[in-house]
Amino acid sequence: MDNLFILLLIPVLGALVLAFVQQAKAARQLALLVSLVSLGLTIPFLVQFVPDASMQFEQRFAWIPSLGIHFHIGIDGISLPLVLLTNGLIPLIILSAFNYDYKGGFYALVLFMQAGLLLVFTALDAFAFYVGWEVALIPIYFICALWGGENRIRVNIKFFIYTFFGSLLMLVAIIYLHMQVPTEDYELTSFYQLGLDASTQRWIFWAFFIAFAIKMPIFPFHTWQPDTYTEAPTAGTMLLAAIMLKMGVYGVIRWLIPIAPLGTAAYGQLALVLCVIGVVYASVIAFKQGDIKRLIAYSSIAHVGLIGAGIFAWNVQGLQGAIIQMINHGISVVGLFFVADILIRRLDTRDMAAMGGIAKPAPVLAILFLTIVMGAIGLPITNGFIGEFLLLMGIYQYGIWYAALGGLTIILGAVYLLRMYQKVMLGEVNTQTAVFTDIRGTEWVVLAVVVVLIIGIGVYPKPLLDLSEAAVTDLINKVGLIR
């Protein structure tokens, strides 16, 4: 049961069936079943994975032979955590949507997107990577635009054109690289061995970087993000923040830096500075937000900025931190957005000024929410701590000032997240919040799983780190340090 192709196929098949299910209840149960099957099928990969630097479970079929395109997929220590993240979070996201009456079409889009995401994280052929990249985009556009808020049409067309433009630039770079490959294929390994001259690598860097920076998003390519996150339905926001932005991060690690190391040497510092600016900038703006969803959206920019900085520092600690922090951020952000969704659904407002004192009528929610906030801030024994610690260590090796500025994320993050918690949960109850009912049913399940993961990874992160360590070290050795 370690056939990677089948793992990618299951969500597609599920989506095809679900597209025809009209009944809301049947649709969500079937969707949950399919996502759990996907998760279950991930376990053999985890068990049989040998934690070394090699590519495993590889599969390669001819796709368009006359153009040198293959459907080539495989898993190594860098992609396995992300495959786990995707297949682990999709059931949670589907569960979190149980409170809405979505029909089969909604879940079909979610599962279709899952297939695209998995393809991105496992693709070893640039064409397959690009296809996955776009296939993940179409469903999320429809999810956000069909079930989103008032401004959804304008906001989402901006989002789509923005990301599509970036990905087209990447496509140009991919085709260009293919032209240089002597064996006329799109293989990742062929791209690695190109050794282009520095001036070519410089524009290749930008073509890839803009695509990934828009997706992550890195300052100043982030302007689509807060609006899109706010207007999207919560399940859509979770998909975007928890999994989709990792496509950009993964792209930087897997494609951008190893293919254009000289380009990264020229502009990596600039990219790192942009990331750090994003951290501070987003934190400051997050502090000023009154809208709870927008606040979390900006906090996401800040966290991703730190991850990006850790990658561009390009050392083992930074990269390890980035990988584990991608997982942590995914888990935390699902928790945060889900709590926000619970609040918004019950109180019918996103404005934090209208909330307050909810800890009194809903003590269970208060405790779970506090844990999630702690995880997002990065307190010890939560998952965020180990990630941010490694990231800052990596950035410190690159330059102490970057680390000092990037470290602000912990302090600023604590400020705005605790302020959010205080405004929402503590203080006086008003007429609305006095009758707030505590979490129940699926809400309880989702938040409990999130909290268990936060504490679990926080206490014992070693298995997760072991997965990627060999692959990360090998990648850094192959590419060499970048200064």
Sites of contact with another protein (CB under 8 A): 62-67, 130-131, 134-135, 138, 142, 145-146, 152-153, 157, 160-161, 164-165, 168-169, 171-172, 175-176, 178-179
Residue 7, CA atoms < 13 Å, CB-side half-sphere: 28
* Residues constituting the chain: 483
The residue among 214, 221, 201 whose CA lies nearest residue 167 is 214
How far apart CA 134 and CA 211 sit, in angstroms, is 12
CB of 155 to another protein, least distance (A): 11
Residue 4 CB, shortest distance to another protein, in Å, is 18
Closer Cβ to another protein, 176 or 389, answer by number: 176
Q: How far apart are CA 354 and CA 434, in angstroms?
A: 12
H or E segment to which residue 61 belongs:
strand 56-64
Find, among 349, 265, 375, 347, the residue nearest to 313 by Cα.
265
Q: Which long-range contacts (CB under 8 A, 24 or more apart) does 51-54 make?
A: 51/77, 51/466, 51/467, 51/469, 51/470, 52/77, 52/470, 52/471, 53/77, 53/470, 53/471, 53/473, 53/474, 53/475
Choice between 33 and 161, CB closer to another protein: 161
**126 or 420: CB nearest another protein:** 126
Rounded Cα distance, 256 and 478, in Å: 14
Kindly state the smallest distance separating residue 127's Cβ from another protein, in Å: 8
* Shortest separation between residue 397's beta carbon and another protein, angstroms: 36
For the bound state, the minimum distance from the C-beta of residue 257 to another protein, rounded and expressed in Å, comes to 22
Q: Which is nearer to another protein, 147 or 267 (CB)?
A: 147
**How far is 269 from 398, CA to CA, in rounded Å?**
10
Kindly tell me the sign of the dihedral angle through the C-alpha atoms of 457, 461, 465, 466: negative
Beta carbon of residue 142, minimum distance to another protein (angstroms, whole number): 7
Closest contact distance (angstroms) between CB of 349 and another protein is 24
Identify whether the C-beta of residue 194 lies closer than 8 Å to the C-beta of residue 181: yes
> Measured from the CB atom, is 154 or 478 closer to another protein?
154
SS3 71: strand
Residue 107 CB, nearest approach to another protein (Å):
16
Question: What's at 289, amino acid-wise?
Answer: Q
Residue nearer to another protein on the CB measure, 146 or 273: 146
Which lies closer to another protein via its Cβ, residue 211 or residue 355?
211
Please name the residue that has the structure tokens 């070290």.
473
Residue placing its CB nearer to another protein in the complex, 155 or 309: 155
